[in-house]
Amino acid sequence: MKSIQTTTFDVMVIGGGIAGLQTALDIACQDYSVAVVEKGASIGGKMIRLSKVFPTLDCASCITTPKMAAAAHNDNITLFTCCDVKSIKRERTLSTQNISNSISPQNNNTQRNRFVLKAVVTQRARYVDADKCIGCRKCEYECPVLVSDVEQGGFSARKAISIPFSNAIPQIAVLDADNCMLCGKCEKICPTHAINYFQESYDFVIQANSIVLATGYEMTSLSDKPQYGMGKIPNVIDALQMERLLAPHGPYNRVLRPSDGKEPDSIAYIQCAGSRDRSMGVPYCSRFCCMYAIKQAMLLSGSLPLAEIRIYYMDIRAFGKGYEQFYQNAKAMGIEFVKAKVARVDAGEDGSVTLQYEDQNGYGMVTMNHDLVVASMGVISAWSPKGICNVSQGLDNFIHTINSKLSPTLTDMEGVFVAGAAAGPKDIVDTITEAGSAAIEVSKYLRYLYGKERGLKPVSTISSLKAVA
Amino acid sequence: MKDKKEDQKHKENQEYREDKKVGVYICYCGGNISDHVDVERVREYVENLPEVAVARTNMFMCSDPGQQLIMDDLKNGTVERVVVASCAPSLHETTFRSAISRAGINPYIYEHANIREQVSWVHHGDQATEKAIKLISMASAKAEQLSPLEPIRVNAKKHATVIGGGVAGLRAAKDMADCGIEVALIEKSQFLGGNLAPLDKIAPTGESAKELLSTLALQVLCHPSITIYAGSVVDSFEGYVGNFTLGVKQVEPLPSKAADSDITAEADISDIQKTNETDKYKKGDYIPFSGVFAVDDADFSNRSDSQNLSVSSNWKSHVIETGVIVIATGFKSYTPNIGEYGYKKIKEVITLPELIKSMADSLNSGRLSSQDSFTMQKGSACSGKVRGLEKFLEIDGRKIRSMAMIHCVGSRQTPGIHQENDSGQLNEYCSRTCCTATLNAANIIRERYPSTRIYDFFRDIRTYGRGQEEIYEKASHNQVIFFRFEADEPPEIIESRESQSGKNFESNSQLNNFPICVKAKDVLTFGEEIEAPVDLVVLATGIEPNDVSDLVQKMKLPVGADRFLLEVHPKLRPVELPVSGIFLAGTCQAPMDIGESCNAAGAAAVKAAAMLAKGYVELDPFVAQINLELCNGCGACVESCLSDGALRIVDIKADGELIKRAEVTPPLCLGCGACVGVCSENAIDIAGWTLRQYEAMVDRIVAENILAVIN
Amino acid sequence: MDKTAMLHRGKILILATETCAYPGADSVGQSHSSYPSNTFILRVRAPVLFPEQFYMDCFRKGISGIIIMSCGEECPYEGAYKALAKRIDRVYQLMKAAALDIRRLRLTAICTVCNRAFLKEINQMNELIDEIGVPINEEAEL
């Protein structure tokens, strides 16, 4: 049996999306060491894959890249990519730190009661030596295998070995073992001999005093929804795919519908396509779909000025700062808002998509054809603590928080905090503030732990307050 | 011929220059650049520029081997100034600056040439190559003139000041204090708790506002590192990050908040009595609807001594030296215009905050006398037990058989439809919290008083948050009747009392026995006209930022069109202001619920903690610098300066004589250069961005000799 | 336009603010739009830095057109835009006095995603300088 290596940090952040990065940065700025563990091959999460963000219409990649770079360049932050967390346990430990003589026996007692969090992490094989790869992409240019590129919504191809996307961090190639045909071309061309077909996954341990869960969200799949064609109807796409079509570095460099490359003249958004819908197991509101639909509609009317754009909605939830004004602007730009729940989606003629909905003007069931339909799918938790650690989930499967009003980032496991969409759907700005909030909880917790260890007077606790009250 | 001559002249000039060897590093960007720019040809050309010592290329200059090239050349003295020609500086300027630092060299001897976003992706063929040469040549000319700069290091007091004692202010104060920072908390009233105090049970989880507030406020009151200045306001402000000075002045006691919101005649009287009774309160007492009493015994006795409460000269003032400031000045509930949905004209029209208070009062009246009665048990246990067989909600002794709730009052206002306020403003924003609060109140009423019928008039139901959609579902389940209206066709409130004065209101079978009829066009049922007879109309009033114009003026805070304080970036930097060291927490920035306010407070606190962690703050060195030999002390720069206090004229001694010269206070300087443009003597410049550097770049743009070399 | 014509085309100087217009120019690059290469972008913190004489010197040196791409009302330095607008009025006076066509200097606001506006400004300025030539000739004719 191989001996398992242990690395120690003050804090471990699970998830390298915008929530995890902001949390890590806010903690690292106070000189605590932070490990960021990301399951993907690059940090940046969902945000780096977006086109622009509402309501500023800033380019998402332009404002995410600096954050990613700041985390990557921060001396206190260590990034682990292609990593899965297998288990997290609180373990009693004897501190290896030298304890100064000034500490009283009483404090030594607390010392003995000290717990740490130990996470077993699996480093998945990239088949590329991360230390040797210089990200020159020669392997990618040489590779003969084309694979559908999920990073581009499946609309274009990538190679079986590639850098995940142009502004990925780290810029290290990943080999897709499922599709590689072992032709050996990448191995031959690699100037630094970084390709290793025999690389294996291995486990290692990250020991930390505090953990932040920033595991983000996923979207429900179109294929779950029989009324909407189970994902079989061409030209019905989800919103993240539309983000790629709109992105400046997207698959076609402009908006074309996928089935035949036609420029769509009429585009429809189906809101609540997977949310507020008990049948989909997502009874809650996914919170940011209204805004991204409006944003995408605005961007579409910019790139396709003649196209008709319609949003079918139940309630427009433009609740954030500047959002309502953004919504009103979209209306003024001529984007059509139709209050209706779309009942059925079918394939129409020549690649068009047919929607059926109940008209609010009393015309009963109305049928409408569109060239391209975007379904705003439900937002669901991307990660479950089940079998990994003793953090509980809410009924919505997102991480349960125990003091949602005064300390919204507290979980029911000591030392473990949550930030961003891991604790329920959240837009970027709410994620950023929550990341800051988780970071201050971590800072307070570490100070409390280390303060006790160093014999410092602990900061106020509830019990000291009760006396006064 | 002419080109060559000029080139010769150029070379001659060069010999008189200080010898600053520039290294140029050109990136292929894996084809992103090299597909359109002939990188090797560019390298050959720029290597011949007079100031360039070496020019190198790499597939990815940002890769470790690429950075190593630069570091090696710096370490062995081959180059003293660095130009990297690659992608946009926003992506990799910091990468290369830190590589230079790692080589042990000052990172400010670096200039970036943007030959991807501004060349290879927008120009093609020879033009791209020529443009790349020009841009690098310009960058190199600037680089030659760069000098090492040191970040401005400002010692920072490990002390923070929070303005506002609502939930955001309390959270921020506690968070920072727990991180080892001394905190001063300034609250205008004598109570802590702000807008949390007048709440009852909080959606969606049903916690009691009293419990939340008592816990938090007591933690703050008892914290050894927090000093509270209750009943005080900021009187003066000066300084800069790490070293602010605030003057704090006690003000005469405000009437408690409940009285402030002017609910009903009876409420007014009782609250005034309460205010007079504040003598009886002890620090830490929880006073329903007002918050946690925060005035110290010392202050208290001081106040008792002074017979005339309105003589403010008897009140204390303090000076606080502080490192960072967190603004948490909160919101006030929108007050409808007189006559808006009949408000203040029809006595049955009240606001949601008024309803919440009345409900709590009606629950408490006659039953229990202690303050504890305010605490409601969790769940809906109150309804049957408390009121016995009573199935109707009662407000001021009136039985409410049926009521209407109207959303978006004072929010989502539309130009041309809604009436502007006295200052000509509209609240175009959504207040975010009212939908859930309204439906929460509706559920409580339906569950406690099942006979009270509720009509809900909404535009969009915005129960966006975790657990909030369930409240909406529950309201439907509780048979709250929903009608949707459009902004241009709001419900009408019609008084039907006149026609049947003297009739017995108790019989609820007859429609015209109700004092009010709400008329609306229901969009949900295809524009059907509906009339709802009701005893009570509740307006779901929105959130407006508290008026902090005095602070805005004193501290030069940016304010958005919506009158909330304006953050640096609404997406990525929501709690920061352009002024370093001042942060925003909670509803002074935008409408938020309690959890969101606490998150924002935490985010502000962590920024403050990071800033004060080292005991000093490092700022960009790009600030104005004065050439004292050229400066004639005319003061034009001071006049043009956009940041108060960054520039001033001082007397300095030169050759035994007192002369006037400009002086910069670097931490206050924004580095905008407004002063540079007005200096007749060219005596002032922005470090790292000097006019001479720009002129050198323009000279390179117009130089025609480039083609002579490459052709 | 063939290469020689390109070489003799007048040059356009663009002063682009580092918070708005400069990233805006990058955004044009990211969208792979193309525009003439006689454009030279200088990254500035705020264009209010440049004195009147700087503009006059540029024209004297042979720059055909200058576009100031500011942040407009979104300027991070409160009051800078107003000061800049006043400054530019004075430059216009100087230009008139020197018999320079004042259309050679344009004050605009370009945000980080104003791709179209960015391209429009460049195309308009190019149309203008193609029509009226380089400023040195203008002065020589006088």
Report d(CA A56, CA A322) in Å as an integer. 9
**What residue in C sits closest to A253 (Cα-Cα)?**
C31
pLDDT band at B365 (very low <50, low <70, confident <90, very high): low
Query: Is the per-residue pLDDT at B261 higher than 60?
Result: no
B390 touches B449 (CB < 8 A): yes
- Chains touching chain A at 3 or more Cβ pairs under 8 angstroms? B, C
3-state secondary structure of B480: coil
Domain identity same for B226 and B310? yes
| Cβ contact A73–B98 (<8 Å) | yes
CB of A189 within 8 A of CB of A142?
Answer: yes
pLDDT, position A62 = 65
User: What per-residue confidence (pLDDT) applies to B340?
Assistant: 94
Q: Which has the closest alpha carbon to B541: B426, B382, B698, B431?
A: B431
Cβ contact C32–A62 (<8 Å)? no
Domain membership of residue B481 (yes or no) is yes
- Are residues A43 and A72 in contact, defined by beta-carbon separation less than 8 angstroms? yes
Distance CA B583, CA B608 (A): 8
- The fold of the A125-200 domain, in CATH, is Alpha-Beta Plaits (3.30.70)
CB contact under 8 A, A31 and B177: no
Number of H helices, E strands in chain C: 6, 4
Q: A3-12, B429-438, B700-709 — which is least confidently predicted?
A: B700-709
Please list every residue in chain C whose beta carbon sits closer than 8 Å to the beta carbon of residue A249: 30
* d(CA C111, nearest CA chain A) in Å: 9
DSSP B679: -
Q: How many domains does chain B have?
A: 4
Strand-strand pairing, A365-370 and A353-358: antiparallel
Specify whether B451 is located in the same domain as B395: yes
- Predicted confidence band at B242 (pLDDT cuts at 50, 70, 90)? very high
pLDDT at B393: 87
Any chain B CB within 8 A of the CB of C94?
Answer: no
User: Are residue B598 and residue B659 in the same domain, yes or no?
Assistant: no
CATH code, B635: 3.30.70.20
Domain presence at residue B340: no
Which subunits sit against B, judged by 3+ Cβ pairs under 8 A? A, C
Neighbours of B692 (CB within 10 A): 11
C29's enclosing H/E stretch is helix C21-30
CB contact under 8 A, C32 and A52: no
What is residue B519's predicted lDDT score, i.e. its pLDDT? 94
C124/A contact by beta carbon, under 8 A: no
SS3 letters across A164-176: CCCCCCCCCCEEC
What is the pLDDT confidence band of residue B19, given thresholds at 50, 70 and 90? Answer: low
CB B650: neighbour CB atoms within 10 A?
11
- Interchain CB contact of A52 with C (< 8 Å): yes
B610 and B631 share one domain? no
Q: Which fold has domain A6-123+202-216+382-463?
A: FAD/NAD(P)-binding domain (3.50.50)
Computed on alpha carbons and rounded to an integer, the radius of gyration of chain C in Å comes to 15
The model's pLDDT over B603-660, given as tens digits with 9 standing for 90+, comes to 999 999 999 988 898 888 999 999 999 999 999 999 999 888 899 999 998 888 899 9
Q: Can you tell me the mean pLDDT for B333-341?
A: 94
Pick the residue of C28, C31, C71, C110 with the most A CBs within 10 A to test the interface with A by mutation. C31
Tens of pLDDT along C2-38? 444 445 678 999 999 988 889 889 878 877 789 999 9
Q: Does the distance separating the beta carbons of C23 and A62 come in below 8 Å?
A: yes
The residue from B501, B532, B563 where one domain ends is B532
Tell me the per-residue pLDDT of B463-485, one tens digit each, with 9 for 90 and over: 999 999 999 999 999 999 999 99
Q: How far apart (Å, rounded) are the C-alpha atoms in residues B647 and B675?
A: 9
| Mutation for testing the C interface, residue in B123, B572, B640, B672 having most C CBs under 10 Å | B672
Hey, of A51, A58, A299, which one would you mutate to test binding to chain C, going by the most C CBs within 10 A of its CB?
A: A58
Helices (H), C36-98: 52-61, 80-97
- CATH code, domain with B18: 3.40.50
For B555-583, the DSSP string reads HT--B-TTSSB--SBTTTBTTB-SSTTEE
User: What is the pLDDT averaged over residues C59-87?
Assistant: 88
A58 touches chain C (CB under 8 A): yes
Flag if A321 and B63 touch (Cβ within 8 Å).
Answer: no
Which pTM was predicted? Answer: 0.82
- CA–CA separation, B575 vs B597, rounded Å? 11
Which of A364-378, B676-690, C64-78, C96-110 has the weakest average pLDDT? C64-78
Residues B187 and B252 in one domain: yes
The count of residues in chain C is: 142
Cβ-based neighbours of B698, under 8 Å, separated by 6 or more = C13, C42, C57, C58, C61, C63
Q: Are residues B372 and B511 in the same domain?
A: yes
Q: Residue A338 is encoded by which pair of tokens?
A: 């139709």
Distances (CA, A) of B512 to B48, B509, B532: 96, 9, 11
CATH number for B202:
3.50.50.60
Distance (Å) from the C-alpha of residue C31 to the closest C-alpha of chain A?
A: 5
Give CA–CA dist A48/B200, Å, rounded: 42
Where on the phi/psi map is residue B189: left (φ > 0), alpha (ψ -120 to 50), or beta? beta
Ordered per-residue pLDDT tens for chain A, 469 residues: 457 899 999 999 999 999 999 999 999 999 999 999 999 999 999 998 998 899 988 778 767 877 888 898 888 999 999 999 999 999 987 654 444 433 334 444 444 567 899 999 999 999 999 988 877 778 998 999 999 998 888 899 999 999 888 778 898 999 999 999 999 999 999 888 999 999 999 999 999 999 999 999 999 998 888 889 888 998 999 999 999 999 866 788 789 999 999 999 999 999 999 899 888 889 999 999 999 999 999 999 988 999 999 999 999 999 999 999 999 999 999 999 999 989 999 999 999 999 999 877 677 889 999 999 999 999 999 999 999 999 999 999 999 999 999 999 999 999 999 999 999 999 999 999 999 999 999 999 999 988 866 655 444 443 333 333 3
The answer to whether residues B104 and B43 touch, using CB atoms and an 8 Å cutoff, is no
Measured in angstroms, the CA of A286 and the nearest CA of chain B are apart by 7
pLDDT in tens, B153-177: 999 999 999 999 999 999 999 999 9
How far does CA A263 lie from the centroid of its chain? 30
| DSSP classification of residue C72 | G
Judge whether B229 and B238 are in contact, CB under 8 Å. no
Considering the domain architecture, whether residues B498 and B580 belong to the same structural domain is answered as no
Give the residue among B11, B78, B86, B80 at the shortest CA–CA distance from B49.
B11
ipTM of the complex: 0.93
Pick from B177, B214, B609: CB nearest A30: B609
- Token pair recorded at residue B337: 């215009």
pLDDT (0 to 100) of residue B316: 79
The minimal CB distance from B116 to the residues C29, C33, C78 is found for: C29
pLDDT for A191: 80
- Count B/C contacts: CB-CB distance under 8 Å: 118
Distance from CA of C2 to the nearest CA of B (A): 10
Burial A26-61 (b: 16+ CB within 10 A, else e): bbbbbebbbbbbbbbbbbbbbbbbbbbbbbbbbbbb
Q: Which two tokens stand for residue B226?
A: 């927090």
- The reply to whether omega before B578 is within 30° of 0 (cis) is no
Establish if A57 touches chain C: CB-CB under 8 angstroms. Answer: yes
Q: What is the DSSP string of B397-442?
A: TEEESEEEEEEEETSS--TTTSPP-TTS----S--SSHHHHHHHHH
Number of other CB atoms surrounding residue C8 within 10 Å = 10
Chain A CB contacts of C112 under 8 Å are 58-59, 62
* A248–C32 CB contact, under 8 Å: yes
Q: Supply A357's token pair.
A: 């909905």
Q: Does C33 touch chain A (CB under 8 A)?
A: no
Looking at the structure, give the CATH architecture of the domain made up of residues A220-379: 3-Layer(bba) Sandwich (3.50)
Please state, in angstroms and rounded to a whole number, the distance separating the CA atoms of residues B483 and B564: 31
Judge contact between A244 and A49, C-beta under 8 A.
yes
Would you call B565 an interface residue with chain C, using a CB distance cutoff of 8 Å? no
Same domain flag for B273 and B422 = no
Residue B47 pLDDT: 93
pLDDT at B295: 81
Check pLDDT > 90 for residue B430: yes
Q: Cβ(A79)–Cβ(A38) under 8 Å?
A: yes
pLDDT, average across residues B369-375: 33
Rounded mean pLDDT, C58-87: 88
Nearest to A30 among B212, B216, B610 (CB): B610
What residues of chain A lie within 8 A of the CB of B603, using their CB? 26, 432-437, 439-440
Residue B677: which of C42, C61, C87 has the nearest Cβ? C87
3-state SS record for chain A: CCCCCEEECCEEEECCCHHHHHHHHHHHCCCCCEEEECCCCCCCCCHHHCCEECCCCEEHHHHHHHHHHHHHHCCCEEEECCEEEEEEEEEECCCCCCCCCCCCHHHHHHHHCCEEEEEEEEECCCCECCCCCCCCCHHHHHCCCEEECHHHCCCCEEECEECCCCCCCCCCCEECCCCCCCCCHHHHHCCCCCECCCCCCEEEEEEECEEEECCCEEECCHHHCHHHHHHCCCCEEEHHHHHHHHCCCCCCCCCCCCCCCCCCCEEEEECCCCCCEHHHCECCCCCCHHHHHHHHHHHHHHHCCCCEEEEEECCCCCCCCCHHHHHHHHHHCCCEEEECCEEEEEECHHHCEEEEEECCCCCCEEEEEECEEEECCCEEECCCCCCCCCCCECCCCCECCCECCCECCECCCCCEEECHHHHCCCCHHHHHHHHHHHHHHHHHHHHHHHHHHCCCCCCCCHHHHHHHC
**Which one of B149, B177, B192 terminates a domain?**
B149
Stretch B191-195: mean pLDDT, rounded?
A: 94
Q: What are the residue ranges of CATH 3.50.50.60 in chain A? A: 6-123+202-216+382-463, 220-379
Residue-number span of the structural domain to which B669 is assigned:
621-687
Q: How confident is the model at residue B1 (pLDDT cuts 50, 70, 90)?
A: very low
To the nearest whole Å, the CA of C61 is away from the closest chain B CA by: 7
Nearest residue on chain A to C26, judged by CA atoms?
Answer: A62
Q: What integer best gives the mean pLDDT of chain B?
A: 84
Burial of B459 (C-beta count, 10 Å sphere; 0-12/13-18/19+): buried
Q: How far apart are CA A91 and CA A114, in angstroms?
A: 8
pLDDT at B705: 59
Nearest to A160 by CA among A141, A173, A172, A143: A143
Q: How high does pLDDT run on average in chain A?
A: 88
Whether B90 has its CB under 8 Å from any CB of chain C: the answer is yes
Residues of C within 8 A of B679 (CB-CB) are 51
pLDDT computed for residue B706 by the predictor: 54
Whether B10 has a pLDDT exceeding 70, the answer reads no
pLDDT tens string B71-126: 999 999 999 999 999 988 877 888 899 899 999 999 999 999 999 989 998 999 99
Cβ atoms of residues A308 and A265 within 8 Å: yes
| Topology adopted by domain C3-141 | Rossmann fold (3.40.50)
Q: Where are the domains of chain C?
A: 3-141
Residues comprising chain A, all counted: 469
Q: B191 and B297: one domain? A: yes
